[in-house]
């Protein structure tokens, strides 16, 4: 992409944002890499260094459960010590300007909320809390991770002694129905869906931009590399999110001043 082409793309992207009456942003792990949290599929991503613990293993096998908690105690530090980056902050700015209605995220790091986004739909839950799988009791993840590290054993529920797990959706675990319904209802109104930092290969999240699709709907993608759904999008920019969103925002500002 030469600079002339990229300027045209930024301008077009900005015009879609300014023209849409209801814009939804969908984010994936790529929006948080600039905050120091690795994604799944990049060479230094989570899968390069960890084995996946599936939900049924977690339930049935104490060793898998321990491995899960070991991994989570490491990733917890990355989450807890990280702060939102320019990508998260640009979305908040657009929300305050009335340009973005709602954020749907696959991320579990809580950085959108920390940046100031309200009412975020977390389709894969949150790693900021730990919950009991039996009674629903829940506690701050920091407290539970410290307990795991202090005792070198999976922490049990304070209320009923049940198995505890981060309040996230693990591999092989059902998505939360209420959260998915909220997602579907939100997309009913969407004229523009902006997918940021997601490989768009993990279903059903990968199909979210096209749920309740309408003739008016435009889909815009920013990602470092090609995604599984580029062929379905109206506009695709391959680039780093921080610089790309900053450039798009300059064109948004310009378009708003011209109005």
Catalytic residues, by residue number, are: 124
Among 8, 225, 254, 256, binds ligand NAD (CB under 6 A): 225
Q: Does 42 bind ligand NAD (CB under 6 A)?
A: yes
Return the residues of window 68-107 that contact ligand NAD according to CB under 6 A: 106-107
Give residue for tokens 């049990």.
156
The residue range among 8-16, 28-36, 51-59, 61-69 that interacts with ligand NAD, by the rule CB under 6 A, is: 28-36
9 binds ligand NAD (CB under 6 A): no
Rule CB under 6 A: say whether 247 interacts with ligand NAD: no
| Shortest distance (Å) from residue 150 CB to ligand NAD | 25
**Is 223 a binder of ligand NAD (CB under 6 A)?**
yes
Nearer to ligand NAD, 145 or 157 (CB): 145
Query: Tokens for 77?
Result: 């530090």
The residue within the footprint of ligand NAD, chosen from 18, 29, 91, 221 (CB under 6 A), is 29
Say if residues 82 and 109 touch (Cβ distance below 8 Å): yes
Per CB under 6 A, the segment of 7-15, 33-41, 132-140, 211-219 that binds ligand NAD is 33-41
Pick from 9, 13, 20, 39 the residue near ligand NAD by CB under 6 A: 39
Interface ranges with ligand NAD (CB under 6 A): 28-30, 32-34, 37, 39-42, 45-46, 106-109, 124, 197-199, 202, 223-225, 240-241
């Amino acid at each position: 992409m030469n600079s002339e082409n990229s300027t045209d793309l930024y301008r077009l992207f900005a015009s879609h944002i300014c023209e849409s009456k209801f814009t939804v942003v969908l984010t994936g792990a790529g929006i948080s890499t600039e905050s120091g949290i690795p994604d799944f599929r990049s060479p230094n991503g989570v899968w390069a260094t960890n084995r996946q613990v599936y939900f049924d293993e977690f339930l049935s096998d104490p060793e898998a459960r321990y491995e899960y908690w070991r991994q989570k105690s490491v990733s917890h530090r990355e989450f807890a010590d990280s702060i939102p980056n320019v990508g998260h902050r640009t979305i908040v700015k657009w929300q305050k300007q009335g340009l973005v209605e709602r954020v749907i995220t696959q991320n579990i790091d809580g950085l959108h909320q920390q940046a100031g986004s309200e009412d975020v739909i977390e389709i894969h839950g949150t790693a900021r809390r730990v919950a009991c799988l039996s009674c629903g009791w829940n506690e701050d993840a920091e407290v539970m991770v410290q307990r795991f590290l202090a005792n070198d054993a999976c922490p049990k529920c304070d209320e009923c002694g049940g198995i505890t797990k981060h309040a996230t959706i693990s591999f092989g675990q059902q998505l939360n129905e209420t959260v998915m319904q909220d997602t579907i209802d939100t997309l009913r109104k969407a004229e523009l869906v902006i997918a940021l930092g997601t490989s768009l290969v993990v279903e059903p999240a990968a199909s979210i931009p096209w749920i309740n699709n309408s003739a008016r709907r435009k889909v815009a993608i920013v990602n470092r590399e090609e995604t599984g759904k580029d062929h379905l999008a109206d506009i695709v920019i391959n680039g780093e999110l921080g610089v790309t969103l900053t450039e798009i925002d300059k064109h948004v500002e310009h378009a708003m001043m011209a109005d």
